[in-house]
Structure 1
């Protein structure tokens, strides 16, 4: 985040480097394993390189499209642009594109592979519920993701899991419908497909655990950065409390549509309550932990707010 005034976070940088290093090793082992179990080299290369290029260059557009969001001009959303303008001036960072998603799910997210392609998006549900200081605090949180470059890291880190998940599904279909006959020169297509499924499932599990751990830490880091930049940790805490409290009032279908993007949201959208796979392997730390951190920052700043 060279050049920005968001507080540096060596812990986040270390975790991003460590996660990416481990994923690169897993990625290499994944490619080698696919070749060793009998998958043609050209097909491995096509899938891996194709997915990598597609996700790297299209992730922002895909996220905006999937959320029904669209970029807005200062004339279309003057108040939202004014908040982003002020925060970017305060943080001394380039202004990203600004978008709005027309949904009552109160949330915000940042996407884009770098500062030039970055987009900060707020939902209409978020803007309707929060006052100006709370909205500013949430957008500062999202801008810190851009400044820390963890949006790019999460995009790249998620790539391996997507490829592994795709190959697992493809392998299962081949294993079920591909027949059990042996090739003249080796194992049957069904056996190769099953081996691909095993390798892919292991890789998916490893990437899942690594990216979830990184995701939880980066949310705490963004909360800290936003609180110190604005000097009003209570505004962020108030926004967090409002948003999580109002999630229960959102229709279940809307929450289910939003859940796939939880890793990029300010706070996750859950359609189920209680302990679940989503909460055990959460993309975000518990709300109580985030509020406790913000309370500690308030004491440190001596604002009492």
Structure 2
């Protein structure tokens, strides 16, 4: 499989910028709170460990996913087994999300402890070849360790968010009069810095997520050798998501970063700061891969 050089460079630049932002943020925290590098590293390490350990369990619980056996869904397991042999990765657990909204995702700490999930809705609208295309995309996420990458990338963004929230609360209720003026000024400084870090990392993490989706499309297309199967699946899923009941979308849209197609209810800021690239751009790239494979 040929590497998409432009995509690789964009991801590398995004991670570099994110790293620089986080280093500046760590320096600010160390200076402001009078902490050394070691205590901050320990706190960050504990948060990384907790987020990494519990993330997959939270995702499965939040989506109402049930792990299913080969006897319950033989065709689904057969496709996963075949693709895993081609990709040379351990077979993940297979789950079913009890939702009529067609979608799929993968989660887990690594290839040996991953889960690939499809919704009941996706099984109703895709044929076997299209389902294989979707699963090849999700297994590429597992092979590339994308869940771990996004989890680690979002760590200090989460810290900045909580600092911003606590500073906002402190500003509203904790100061501004008499002896509290200095404290209020310091709190506002924390609020501003945390807000800037959170917003910049928010944008960059979403860019990284979009790049990872392109990479998973590409990897899945080469894994099956049939890019148009994934292309047709994406178009079908996107069409069904657009007409799905708003209440059904709201139940699962909090997990949009994991899905192959975001479940956007139409009343969320996710329309403007999407974790996924536009469908037509993804289809266009898959068509280009189809041409590559024919030449």
Instruction: Give the superposition deviation at 1:133.
Output: 0.8
| Aligned counterpart in structure 1 of residue 168 of structure 2, from 160, 172, 183 | 172
1:102 lines up with 2:94 in the alignment: no
Contact 1:56–1:155 (Cα < 8 Å) also in 2: yes
Aligned residue pairs, count: 294
Between structures 1 and 2, the one with greater helix share:
2
| Aligned counterpart in structure 1 of residue 53 of structure 2, from 57, 76, 81 | 57
1:37 lines up with 2:32 in the alignment: yes
TM-score with structure 1 setting the length: 0.86
TM-score with structure 2 setting the length: 0.89
SS at match of 1:228: helix
1:127 lines up with 2:119 in the alignment: no
SS at match of 1:263: coil
CA distance in 1, matches of 2:67, 2:220: 23
1:85-234 alignment runs, 5 A limit: 85-180=81-176, 187-188=182-183, 190-234=184-228
Distance 1:66 1:226, change over 3 A: same
- 1:103-157, CA deviations, whole angstroms, 9 ceiling, x for partnerless residues? 1121111112321222211111111211111111001001111112222111111
- The match for 1:264 is 258
Instruction: Give the superposition deviation at 1:63.
Output: 0.9
Contact 2:14–2:207 (Cα < 8 Å) also in 1: no
CA distance in 2, matches of 1:112, 1:158: 16
Q: Which moved more, 1:47-56 or 1:109-118?
A: 47-56
The runs of 5 or more residues in structure 1 that have no matched partner are 1-5
Contact 1:34–1:199 (Cα < 8 Å) also in 2: no
CA distance in 2, matches of 1:7, 1:98: 29
